């Protein structure tokens, strides 16, 4: 395997010039700085670590752009969008799911994501039977694309706080907790170098307290993911049923720690924000989806001030671009506060601080022991074109600022995962096969109109 000679590389301690990265068995074996290029090296301009997409519903890639017309309802919101999502899910079989996920994962890699946490509750194909087919479809899609996958099987056992039985289209998501935990055990036994397994509960409204405790016990010290406080209606219903706000309730009733990844946590009180930050749990923020669905804005500056940890995800995949997620995470805060550089608490450069935070937070969200480019870490990296106008003339201090805030088209030349080049010359090596499969799947399930 060829070494990589980088004219500039972002390491744990900061930027370094003229570095050689030795890659063996899918990992970084050593990093030599102040080096010179050798014959056979892959020469790169700027090398940065790949980021983790810490929250994905891969099947929703097929819904992007298809819910932007006003509905007959008096007011469009998350709940009216959810009905359209249910309609799509009801048409999916394992073959279609695999093709859609393969396309989504291909796009993730081309945009600089090298890992994904798949928050998966489609355990039954459209035919209705339960089995391993949907998990196999996700795993095969990840293997075909080359992305590093953390499979997060998710329990969905009830329709709401006061509705013990899922009805109508929700029934296709439902499993009893024993069947769900058996599925979790089976998938853990099939882990590999590139596929690991976490566990999750859909939300407090969809999973009762006894099952939450069993899921937490099954997680051990592995990652545990949960949607929480995404919508004000969820908060109101939780207060009506549990006499507590969602984040308050979960902090009082479960041992939330650094193994937890709480997704969205949009609607928190000041006390919840402070207390959640103190647990060292990571919150996964999905700004493009949260904006698309009208969720609201996360209390970012307060959470970071209290020492909170964050990751990012593309969630419903209305956008697949980690740098756009970071840009809009910051821009939403600027619009709300009428100030600038809101997230720059520890570093005067907001782009560099956001990148550093979500690099660490993403690794935490999937239980990865090492984050970034260092000996012993997976060889998951992104090569940027240092001659691209977006980056030309930028010094080390502003390179990440430029990458996040200077435009939409990304100057990505190559992407490596586990020592393999998945993207070369800006295009995924399986791009055209993935695209063809995606188009055929949408035609077959009637989602291409």
User: Which CATH fold would you assign to the domain 4-49+374-432?
Assistant: Urease, subunit C; domain 1 (2.30.40)
**344-368: average pLDDT:** 97
315 among known catalytic residues: yes
pLDDT for 364 beyond 50: yes
Q: What top-level class would CATH report for the domain 51-365?
A: alpha beta
**Using 50, 70 and 90 to split pLDDT, how confident is the model at 128?**
low
Find all residues with CB under 8 Å of 16, minimum gap 6, and list them: 8, 9, 33
Phi and psi, residue 293, nearest 5°: -90, -5
In whole angstroms, how far apart are CA 374 and each of 30, 64, 157, 381?
8, 36, 42, 11
CB 117 within 8 A of CB 223: yes
**Using 50, 70 and 90 to split pLDDT, how confident is the model at 442?**
very high
Phi and psi, residue 386, nearest 5°: -75, -5
Distance CA 298, CA 281 (A): 15
Q: Active site residue: 227, 264, 418, 428, which one?
A: 264
**Fold equal for 4-49+374-432 and 51-365:** no
Phi and psi, residue 7, nearest 5°: -65, -25
Residue range 26-84, pLDDT digits in tens: 999 999 999 999 999 999 999 999 999 999 999 999 999 999 988 776 678 898 899 89
pLDDT for 172 beyond 80: yes
For residues 173-194, one letter each, b for 16 or more C-beta atoms within 10 angstroms of the residue's C-beta and e for the rest, the string is: bbbebeebbebbeebbeeeeeb
138-367-101 Cα angle (round to 5): 15
Quote the tokens at residue 419: 């020592």
Q: Residue 199 forms beta bridges with which residues?
A: 224
Q: Residue 263 forms beta bridges with which residues?
A: 227, 284
Residue range 300-320, pLDDT digits in tens: 999 999 999 999 999 999 999
What's residue 271's pLDDT? 98
Distance CA 236, CA 234 (A): 5
Quote the tokens at residue 205: 């409204």
418 among known catalytic residues: no
Residue range 376-432, pLDDT digits in tens: 999 999 999 999 999 999 999 999 999 999 987 899 999 999 999 999 999 999 999
Lowest mean pLDDT among 163-167, 219-223, 296-300, 357-361: 163-167
Phi and psi, residue 373, nearest 5°: -95, 110
pLDDT for 449 beyond 50: no
Q: Active site residue: 315, 380, 386, 401, which one?
A: 315
How many alpha carbons lie under 13 Å from residue 341 in its C-beta half-sphere?
11
Describe the crossing of helices 177-188 and 209-219 by its angle, rounded to 10 degrees: 10
pLDDT for 366 beyond 60: yes
How many alpha carbons lie under 13 Å from residue 424 in its C-beta half-sphere?
8
Average pLDDT of the residues of the chain: 95
- State the first-to-last Cα distance of the chain, in angstroms, to the nearest integer: 45
Domain ranges of the chain: 4-49+374-432, 51-365
């Amino acid at each position: 395997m060829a070494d990589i000679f980088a004219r500039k590389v972002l390491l744990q301690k900061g930027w370094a010039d003229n570095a050689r990265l030795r890659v063996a068995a899918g990992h970084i074996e050593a990093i030599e700085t102040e080096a010179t290029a050798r014959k056979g090296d892959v020469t790169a301009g700027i090398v940065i670590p790949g980021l983790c997409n810490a929250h994905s519903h891969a099947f929703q890639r097929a819904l992007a752009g298809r819910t932007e017309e006003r509905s007959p309802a008096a007011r469009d919101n998350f709940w009216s969008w959810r009905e359209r999502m249910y309609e799509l899910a009801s048409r999916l079989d394992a073959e279609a799911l695999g093709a859609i996920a393969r396309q989504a994962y291909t796009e993730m890699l081309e945009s600089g994501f090298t890992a994904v946490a798949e928050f998966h509750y489609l355990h039954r194909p459209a035919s209705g039977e339960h089995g391993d087919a949907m998990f196999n479809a996700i795993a095969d899609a990840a293997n075909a694309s080359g992305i590093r996958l953390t499979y997060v099987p998710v329990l969905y056992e009830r329709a709401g706080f006061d509705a013990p039985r899922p009805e109508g289209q929700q029934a296709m998501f439902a499993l009893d907790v024993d069947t769900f935990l058996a599925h979790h055990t089976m998938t853990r036994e099939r882990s590999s170098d590139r596929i690991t397994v976490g566990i999750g509960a859909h939300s407090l409204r969809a999973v009762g307290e006894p099952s939450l405790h069993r899921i937490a016990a099954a997680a051990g010290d592995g990652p545990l993911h949960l949607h929480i406080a995404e919508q004000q209606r969820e908060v109101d219903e939780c207060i009506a049923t549990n006499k507590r706000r969602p984040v308050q309730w979960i902090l009082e009733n479960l041992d939330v720690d650094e193994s937890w990844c709480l997704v969205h946590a949009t609607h928190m009180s000041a006390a919840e924000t402070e207390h959640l930050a103190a647990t060292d749990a990571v919150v996964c923020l999905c700004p493009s989806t949260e904006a698309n669905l009208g969720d609201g804005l996360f209390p970012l500056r307060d959470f970071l001030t209290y020492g909170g940890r964050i990751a990012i995800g593309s969630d419903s995949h209305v956008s697949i671009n980690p740098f756009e997620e970071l840009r809009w995470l910051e821009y939403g805060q600027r619009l709300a506060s009428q100030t600038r550089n809101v997230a720059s608490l520890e570093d005067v450069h907001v782009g560099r601080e956001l990148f550093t935070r979500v690099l660490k937070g993403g690794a935490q969200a999937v239980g990865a022991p090492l984050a970034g480019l260092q000996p012993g870490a997976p060889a998951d990296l992104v090569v940027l074109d240092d001659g691209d106008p977006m980056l030309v003339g930028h010094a080390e201090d502003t390179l990440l600022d430029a990458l996040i805030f200077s435009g939409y088209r990304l100057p990505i030349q190559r992407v490596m995962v586990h020592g393999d080049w998945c993207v070369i010359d800006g295009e995924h090596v399986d791009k055209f096969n993935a695209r063809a499969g995606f188009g055929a799947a949408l035609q077959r399930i009637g989602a291409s109109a």
